[in-house]
Amino acid sequence: MTSALHFLQLARQCEITELEFLQRTSALVDILGRLIHALQKERGLSMVYLTGRADPEALLTQIKECEPLANKARAGFDDLHIPTQGARLLSRIAYVLQGLDALPDLRDRIQSRQKTPEAAVGAFTKLVTGLLAVVFEAADGAADPDISRLLVALFHFMQGKELAGQERAAGVAAFGAGGEQRQQHWLHLIEAQERCFQVFSEFAPPTLLLQWRGEDATLERLRRVGCTLAVNIESGADLRQTWFDVATSRMDALHTIETQLAAEVLSQCESRIAQARQPLPDADVDADFFDSSPAPAASLGPQLNRSVLELVQDQSQRLQAMQAELETTRAALHERKLVERAKGLLMARRQLTESDAHKLLRQTAMNQGRKLSEVAEAVLAMADLLPPAPH
Amino acid sequence: MTSALHFLQLARQCEITELEFLQRTSALVDILGRLIHALQKERGLSMVYLTGRADPEALLTQIKECEPLANKARAGFDDLHIPTQGARLLSRIAYVLQGLDALPDLRDRIQSRQKTPEAAVGAFTKLVTGLLAVVFEAADGAADPDISRLLVALFHFMQGKELAGQERAAGVAAFGAGGEQRQQHWLHLIEAQERCFQVFSEFAPPTLLLQWRGEDATLERLRRVGCTLAVNIESGADLRQTWFDVATSRMDALHTIETQLAAEVLSQCESRIAQARQPLPDADVDADFFDSSPAPAASLGPQLNRSVLELVQDQSQRLQAMQAELETTRAALHERKLVERAKGLLMARRQLTESDAHKLLRQTAMNQGRKLSEVAEAVLAMADLLPPAPH
């Protein structure tokens, strides 16, 4: 027979264990952000190497920078000690490890020019997507509303930055060879980024938003030239390098914000843990359970000797309020999941590319004056009406 | 440096640990169902004792039946070994333990007629509400979609049965003293039950639904008489006993279904655990991560020697699909939470009773042709516009 106070203390301990796991996860997310940044740069340099006649020196230097980060990420996975309810996170990690194991072989093929530029970009994008899925699970699993908000902001920022990285590669390709399809893809990447950064700005702390200025004029001019003009191949080669440099300095600027956001997550974890470790106030003789009002007591104030019943009620209300707030924050992740699932369905059943599936959803939303997530929900609800996938 | 296969196995182990916890929780829910049933009967008998001049013999017998169940529940709490992410469940348990500790004192006061019938009913209802909140957390925490569906069905059934128990007491009061307000309260309880049983019938397995017939004619006739006529106090006393007996045999019938549903949950847990314990198929030399298609592989078939990559992809897809299904099931719980929170807000800010707050929400929903949960969401969104609680 265990007392109410004992279970109250267990609940406290449970919260602390969760926060400590969140702290380890956040440290991992920070490492993954750095690894992704290095892989993004390697992807860009691989593109430059494969589309031009440059020697692989810059690429080899970048690979050397990437390796210790990959090892740090592996060590981070090992040290996570994922509690129960972490099956999805673990399975995402298993997926990513396969990709990291296959990297050396990919690099050999790129250096010996056995890969097309598009295939090389696709391979890196696949690995980065896998790494971002790990970050997504971490954000989705956070049980503290404030930290969850920061992780939602961070995840969307990282996703937006990845699209900016894909844009860097797409721009290199478009300046290299032109073509309307490449330009369309480029426009799609710009627009998709903006949606991610929109969610980021809704959830990020104001101090970080101050650093988040719009794009600079040079980038916008290059975008305009690249996306609209039939680029002359000769001048294209010059523009390609200019574009790569401008896009790269933009990626570095984005990475600075990303790193600060990750540091903010970690510091929030620390202060929440310190807060949760505060001892419970001394509890006095019990009030009568049946005679006490179920109405909210004020939050834990300085007064001592409160009854166990009051402590239990306070704790219970605090946890409920946290849960309510969490649900609001997670709605942003939920909408993303809906859209991704609806896209996946359209890709499988109607043999569309990712970009075309997205366009179709967006066009439908615009035509019907509905939110993207509402259209996605409707598509999923109608799944049985779509023709089955051809074999 | 740990391999992908290792993390895949960890993910499996994580699933098994979760299922085992779910099994322990389900066993506890079964015990809580029995305890609640005993408390409901004790509440009804207390009402009969306090409104009439009967001797307390039936009540004392019922208390003796209740005690071992309360002890079983306490032992069940101790044996749960709640993993992380269980702070809310633990805090609900701490609350309930306070109520169980206060029971002996409540019973003394009832036997010495120091409590009004309404206060006695209110006290038992408070404890049962706390116990149902434990069941709610258990249902909300289930990570397996099939078991989650069953627990959602079970929780709503138990909630409906509790309203039926409150109806039994309300009927005793109405036949005892009449009064329009009591009749209104009675009608509210009937309607609230129907909504719970509606959700139950959406989520319950078909075999159990077959046992779930409508109410019998005697009960409906007594409801009509009790809710509409000005009951003569003399004949009321007869009707009161008839009503109590009919309502009690109904509660027993509901309890039978409840017990079967709880058994079904347990058997599902067992079969899911057995399934999750199947060893992973032998994995062959790895396919190339970057060359493999990200398209869905078929579900784990009998073929041996599949690549680790395929296993990882299968597992990942299965977990994603489970998550998607879970979200659908939990929507039913989410709607309930919204309505409860909106009611709580209206009660605090507008000084309404629970029943009036519910009526207000329902009336607004009817007037606007919207779902109850939509109105609740709107109320919560407008929280700042409601006048603050008076001190």
A64 and A173 fall within a common domain: yes
Best interface-test mutation with A: which of B289, B323, B341 has the largest number of A CBs within 10 A?
Answer: B289
B240 and B327 fall within a common domain: no
Binned at pLDDT 50, 70 and 90, residue B387 comes out as low
Pick B87's closest partner by Cβ from A11, A98, A106: A11
Spatial contact of B124 and B151, defined as CB atoms under 8 Å apart: no
The predicted pLDDT at position B137 comes to 87
Residues of A in contact with B312 (CB under 8 A): 91, 94-95, 98
B179 Ramachandran zone, left/alpha/beta (phi>0; psi -120 to 50): left
* Residue A284 falls inside a structural domain: no
Task: Give the end of a domain, one of A249, A272, A295.
Answer: A272
* Residue B282 falls inside a structural domain: no
B20 and B102 fall within a common domain: yes
- State phi, psi for B306 to the nearest 5 degrees: -85, 160
B234 and B329 fall within a common domain: no
Number of domains observed in the structure of chain A: 2
Of A120, A122, A86, which Cα lies nearest the Cα of A106?
A120
Spatial contact of B327 and A334, defined as CB atoms under 8 Å apart: yes
Pick A290's closest partner by Cβ from B87, B92, B106: B106
The predicted pLDDT at position A130 comes to 93
The predicted pLDDT at position A391 comes to 46
Inter-chain contact A316–B289, Cβ cutoff 8 Å? no
The predicted pLDDT at position B65 comes to 94
What CATH number is associated with residue B354? 1.10.10.10
How far apart are the C-alpha atoms of A135 and A157, rounded to whole Å?
11
Q: Convert B148-165 to b/e letters by CB count within 10 Å (16 or more is b).
A: bbbbbbbbbbbbbbbbbb
* Residue B192 falls inside a structural domain: yes
For B210-221, write each residue's pLDDT tens digit. 877 766 788 888
The predicted pLDDT at position B178 comes to 67
The predicted pLDDT at position B383 comes to 64
Residues of B in contact with A11 (CB under 8 A): 86-88, 90-91, 94
* Residue B184 falls inside a structural domain: yes
Task: Give the end of a domain, one of A272, A296, A326.
Answer: A272
The predicted pLDDT at position A291 comes to 78
B166 and B268 fall within a common domain: yes
| Domain region containing A249 | 4-272
Cβ contacts of A353 within 8 Å, gap of 6 or more: A347
Binned at pLDDT 50, 70 and 90, residue B199 comes out as confident
B89 and B185 fall within a common domain: yes
Inter-chain contact A123–B10, Cβ cutoff 8 Å? no
The predicted pLDDT at position B103 comes to 95
Q: Average model confidence (pLDDT) for chain B?
A: 83
Token pair of B60, please? 């004392």
How far apart are the C-alpha atoms of A166 and B325, rounded to whole Å?
32
The percentage of residues in chain B with a pLDDT greater than 70, rounded to a whole number, is 88
CA end-to-end span of chain A: 61
The predicted pLDDT at position A387 comes to 55
Residues of B in contact with A2 (CB under 8 A): 74, 77-78, 97
Pick A341's closest partner by Cβ from B18, B126, B324: B324
* Residue A112 falls inside a structural domain: yes
Q: Which residue of A has its CA nearest to B133?
A: A316
Pick B82's closest partner by Cβ from A14, A101, A296: A14
Q: Convert A130-152 to b/e letters by CB count within 10 Å (16 or more is b).
A: bbbbbbbbbbbbbbbbbbbbbbb
Residue spans of alpha helices (H) in chain A: 4-51, 57-79, 87-111, 117-141, 145-177, 180-203, 206-211, 217-228, 233-276, 308-350, 354-368, 372-381
Spatial contact of B12 and B276, defined as CB atoms under 8 Å apart: yes
* Residue A286 falls inside a structural domain: no
Residue length, chain A? 391
Binned at pLDDT 50, 70 and 90, residue B336 comes out as confident
B22 and B75 fall within a common domain: yes
* Residue A67 falls inside a structural domain: yes
How far apart are the C-alpha atoms of B310 and B295, rounded to whole Å?
10
Best interface-test mutation with A: which of B85, B284, B339 has the largest number of A CBs within 10 A?
Answer: B85
Token pair of B181, please? 């307000």
A245 and A167 fall within a common domain: yes
Residues of B in contact with A85 (CB under 8 A): 14, 18, 83-85, 143
- State phi, psi for B277 to the nearest 5 degrees: -85, -10
A261 and A198 fall within a common domain: yes
Worst-scoring range by mean pLDDT, A290-294, B120-124, B244-248?
A290-294
Q: Which residue of B has its CA nearest to A342?
A: B324
Residues of B in contact with A123 (CB under 8 A): 290
Of A225, A222, A221, A203, which Cα lies nearest the Cα of A212?
A203
* d(CA B159, nearest CA chain A) in Å: 19
Q: What is the dihedral of CA A32, A44, A153, A188, to 10 degrees?
A: -140
pLDDT values of chain A reduced to their tens digit, one per residue, 391 residues:
568 888 888 888 888 988 999 999 999 999 999 999 999 999 999 988 998 777 889 999 999 999 999 999 999 999 888 777 788 899 899 999 999 999 999 999 999 999 998 899 999 999 999 999 999 888 887 888 889 889 999 999 999 999 999 999 888 888 877 677 888 888 888 988 888 898 898 889 888 888 777 667 888 888 888 887 665 555 666 788 889 999 999 999 999 999 999 999 999 999 999 998 888 776 655 567 887 654 333 333 334 445 777 777 777 777 777 777 777 777 777 788 888 888 888 887 777 877 788 888 888 888 777 788 888 877 776 665 555 555 4
Q: Which residue of A has its CA nearest to B76?
A: A1
Residue length, chain B? 391
A254 and A327 fall within a common domain: no
Of B136, B137, B160, B139, which Cα lies nearest the Cα of B148?
B139
Instruction: Provide the 3-class DSSP secondary structure of residue A260.
Output: helix
* Per-residue DSSP letter, B120: H
* d(CA B319, nearest CA chain A) in Å: 6
Number of Cα atoms under 13 Å in the Cβ half of residue A139? 29
- State phi, psi for A284 to the nearest 5 degrees: -90, -175
* d(CA A116, nearest CA chain B) in Å: 13
Residues of B in contact with A325 (CB under 8 A): none
Chain centroid offset of residue B55 CA? 34
Residue spans of alpha helices (H) in chain B: 4-51, 57-79, 87-111, 117-141, 145-177, 180-203, 206-211, 217-228, 233-276, 308-350, 354-368, 372-381
Over residues B307-328, the mean pLDDT reads 75
Cβ contacts of A226 within 8 Å, gap of 6 or more: A171, A174, A175, A183, A186, A239, A243
A249 and A313 fall within a common domain: no
Asked if the model's pLDDT at residue B364 lies above 80, the reply is yes
Q: Is B363 exposed, middle or buried (0-12, 13-18, 19+ CB in 10 A)?
A: exposed
The predicted pLDDT at position B391 comes to 46
The predicted pLDDT at position A135 comes to 92
Worst-scoring range by mean pLDDT, A218-227, B11-20, B30-39, B379-388?
B379-388
Q: How many CB pairs under 8 A join A and B?
A: 191
Inter-chain contact A83–B87, Cβ cutoff 8 Å? no
Pick B91's closest partner by Cβ from A1, A74, A315: A315
* Per-residue DSSP letter, A283: E
Instruction: Provide the 3-class DSSP secondary structure of residue B204.
Output: coil
- B6 compared with A52, residue with greater pLDDT: B6
- Residue located via tokens 């709503």: B156
Worst-scoring range by mean pLDDT, A42-56, B18-32, B331-345?
B331-345
The predicted pLDDT at position B301 comes to 37
Task: Give the end of a domain, one of B220, B254, B272.
Answer: B272
Of A31, A26, A278, A271, which Cα lies nearest the Cα of A142?
A26
B64 and B137 fall within a common domain: yes
Over residues B37-52, the mean pLDDT reads 91
Worst-scoring range by mean pLDDT, A288-302, B140-154, B350-364?
A288-302
* Residue A81 falls inside a structural domain: yes
* d(CA A215, nearest CA chain B) in Å: 33
